[in-house]
A and B are shown apart, each in its own frame.
Chain A
Amino acid sequence: MRTWHKLSLAATTTAATASLFAAGPAGASDGGDVEISKDREAITIVGSSTVYPFASYVVEEFGVTTQYPTPVIESTGSGGGLKLFCGGDGMDTPDITNASRPMKVSEFERCQDNGVDDITRAVIGSDGIVIANSVKGERFELTLEELTRAVAAEVPQDGELVDNPNEYWDDIDSSLPHEEIKVYGPPTTSGTRDAFEEMVMEAASEEVGYDGAYSKIRQDGAYVPAGENDNLIVQKLTRDTEALGVFGYSFLDANRDRIQAARINGVEPTPEAISAGDYPISRSLFFYIKNGHAGEVAGLYEYVELFLSEQMIGDMGYLKEEGLIPLPAEQREEMRKAVLSKERLTRSQVEEDSQ
C-alpha cells in the first residue's frame, strides 16, 4: 500500500513534468512559427515514390560526404509533392519536389498564385515500365495494340464499342499463346498506372480503332490491381506462371532470376533502348527546385549538383545500379548547365512538357 502510494505519486509527478516539457516546444512554436522554420538547416524534399529511391540515395551520399546536414526526404507521390511545393514560398514549405511526370499547367498556376514563381526544373533520367512474366513461362512478344486489346474495358468491334470479349491471348492474335489473360498491375492511385494508360492505351487507341484517346482498364478480373508495392507483383508472378505483371524497370533488374520482360513492339527493355526512346513505355523523371530558398537553405544547389553529377546519373553512375535509366550524354550536359544556372521555368515550357 505504502509503496504503491509512493509509486503513484512518482508516476504522476514525472508524467506531469514530462507533459509540461512536451507542451513547451509545441507552445513556443505556436507564436514563433516563422522564427523556428528560419533556423531550418536541412533541405526538405517531397514527391514521387518512383523518384524516391534515387533521391534518397543522393540524400544519403550528400549527408555523409558533405558538411551539410542530411536532407529530409519524404515519399508523398508526385501530385502530393507538387501540392506541398506550390503551397507557398515560406520556409515551412519544401525546397524540392520530385515528380515522375511533368508539372501540370494547373499546378504551375497554383505555384504562381502562391508566390512560387522562380522554379528550376531538372530531368534526372528515365524509368521504363516493363511487362514481365515468370521465367518458367514463355517469353511474350507484344505490340502496344495487343496490350491495349488485352486490358481495355471496351474494344471497338464493327464500328461500336463492346465489352472486351478477349479471354485468352490467342483471342487477340493467333500467334500469341493460348493462355488466359491475367495482368497484375498498379492500382488507380499509382503514377505508374497513369503512365501505363497514357503510353500504352492512349498511344495505341487510334490503331486499335477508338474514336479518340481511350484509357479505361477492364474490371472483369483480367486486370488485377495489385497494390502499390511492386515486390508483391513480382511475388505473384513467380507463383502464377501464366500471368503478366506491370511495374518499374528497377524491379525487373533485381529479379532477373525469376522474371523476364516481354518485348514491346519488338524492342526489349534494355537501358539503352529505354534511354534512346526506342522502348515505347518509358517516362522522364524530374525534380523541381524552389529558387527562392537557394540563399536561405544551406547547400541546396550543392545537393542539386551532386544529384546531376556523372557519378550519380551518368552512364556508370551509382543510380544506374539502382535502376535509373541515364539520359544520353549531351542531354545530361545541357540539362546540367541549364539547371545550375537556375534557369527559370516558364509557362510555355510547362505547356510543352505536359503535352
Chain B
Amino acid sequence: MAAPNLKAEKRTRQRYRRERRFKALCVGAILLSVAFLVFFFTDIIQRGYTAFYQAEVRAEVTYSERTVDLPPAAVDDEVRPFVSRGWLRQLPDHVEADPDLMGQTVTRWITADAPVGQYLKGQYSELTEQEKAEVDRLREQGQIRLAFNTNFFTNGDSKMAEIAGIKSAVVGSVLTLAVTMAVAFPIGVMSAVYLEEFAPDNRFTRFIEVNINNLAAVPSILYGLLGLAIFINFVGVPRSSALAGGLTLALMTLPIIIISTRAALRAVPDSIREGAFGVGASRLQVVSHHVLPQSLPGILTGSIIGLAQAMGETAPLLLVGMMAFIPSAPEGVTDAATVLPAQIYTWASMPQRAFDEITAAGILVLLAVLLTLNATAVVLRKRFERRW
C-alpha cells in the first residue's frame, strides 16, 4: 500500500509543480506586456506634456498703417527677436477683424518663438548665450512667461512649431470617419442581416462568408490601392479629400462590421424569432422589430471597434493623398484634409527639435480619443448586453 502511494504522491507533486510553473509563465507574460505599456506611456507623457504649455512675451503692439505693412515694426526692439513670426504675420488680420484697433497700442501676451520656449522648458535651444541671458532677464521682469498652449488646439499644422496645432487634423479625422461610418455602417449591417436572416445556407453564401473573413485580414495598404484605383482614378473623387479617405477606409471597415453584426445577430436566440413567427410576423417584422433591436448593442460595439481601427490607420490614406500639409481646417468632405495619425507622422519627420514634443502631444491626443472610443464600446456592451 505504501509503495504505490509514494509514486502517486510524487506524480501529484510533479503535476502541481508543473501547474505552478505554467502559472508563473502566464503571470510573467502579463507583467511583460504591462511593463511595455507602462514604459510606452511614461515615455510619451514625459516627452509630450511640455507641449501643452508654451512661452509668451508681453509686448506693446502698435497697430498702424506702417505696422500692417511691416508687422515686425509693431513690437519693441527689446522683445522683437523673441516674438513668433507666425504671430506677427497675422497682424493685418487682427485689424481686418477689428478695424477699431487701427492707430492703437495694445499691451498683450503674444506667442514667443519656439527656441525661447525650448530654452525655458530646459531643452536644447538655438538661442545664443546672450539671447538666453536676455530671456532670463525678461522672465524675471515678468515680460516672458510659460502659459497654456491654446495654439495647439485652435490652429492647424504649421512649419513654425510654436503655432502648430492639431485642429485641422482633428476636423479631417472627424470628416473622414463620418464618411466611413455613413457608408460602411448601413452597407455592413444590411449585408449581415441578409446573410444571417434571409439567405439560404448554400455553397454560394458559404463562399461569400469565407471571402468576407479573408477580407478582414487583408493588409490595409491594399485597400489604399483599391481606393486610389476606384474612387480617385475611376469615379473622380478629389485627391487628398476626406471623401476619398473616408470611402477607402469604409472598404476596410466593412468586413469588420459585417462579421461583428453577424455574431451579434446569431447571439439572439431562435426562440424569439419563432415566437414572432408564431404570432404571424413577416420576416421583415421579425428582423426589424425583434432581432435587430436585441442585437444593436453588439452591432454598435463592433462598429465602434471598427471605427477605432479606421481612426488609427495611415497606410491606405497615404495612397489617396491624405499625407498633406493642411494649415487651415477643411470645410467639407471634398476639401483637402489630413488625419491625426498622418499629422503625427509628418511632425515626427521634421528636423526642428521643437516638433519632438508636439509629436508626442499629438500621440497623447490620439491615444485619448482611441481610449474614449474603446471605453464607449465597453460601456455599451456592459449596460445593454442581454444574456439569454
Contacts and interface: CB of A to CB of B under 8 A. Distances in A.
Interface of A: 1, 4-5, 7-9, 11-12, 15-16, 18-19, 21-23, 25-26, 29-30, 33, 36-37, 42, 44, 49, 52-53, 56-57, 59-61, 63-65, 70, 72-75, 92, 228-231, 248, 250-251, 253-255, 257-258, 318, 322-323
Given A30-B235, A74-B323, A8 B292 contact: yes
Interface residues of B, number: 51
Q: Provide the main secondary structure of the chain A interface.
A: helix
Interface stretch (B146-154, B183-191, B206-214, B275-283): B183-191
Given A12-B189, A60-B327, A64-B90, A19 B182 contact: yes
Given A65-B89, A73-B325, A33 B189 contact: no
B271 to A, nearest CB: 15
B182 A231 contact: no
19 contacts: A15-B182, A18-B182, A22-B179, A22-B247, A22-B333, A29-B236, A36-B238, A52-B325, A59-B325, A63-B327, A65-B89, A70-B327, A73-B325, A74-B240, A230-B349, A231-B350, A254-B353, A322-B159, A323-B351
A246 to B, nearest CB: 15
B159 A53 contact: yes
A70 to B, nearest CB: 6
B328 A12 contact: no
A109 B366 CA distance: 45
What 3 pairs between A and B have smallest CB-CB spacing?
A18-B182, A4-B293, A33-B236
B231 interface: yes
Given A15-B185, A42-B336, A1 B293 contact: yes
A348 B346 CA distance: 37
B237 interface: yes
Contacts, number: 132
B64 to A, nearest CB: 18
Contacts of B300: 11
B321 interface: yes
A92 B236 contact: yes
Nearest to B90: A64
Contacts of B324: 72-74
A92 B179 CA distance: 22
B334 A25 contact: yes
Interface in B276-318: 288-289, 292-294, 296, 300
A323 B346 CA distance: 17
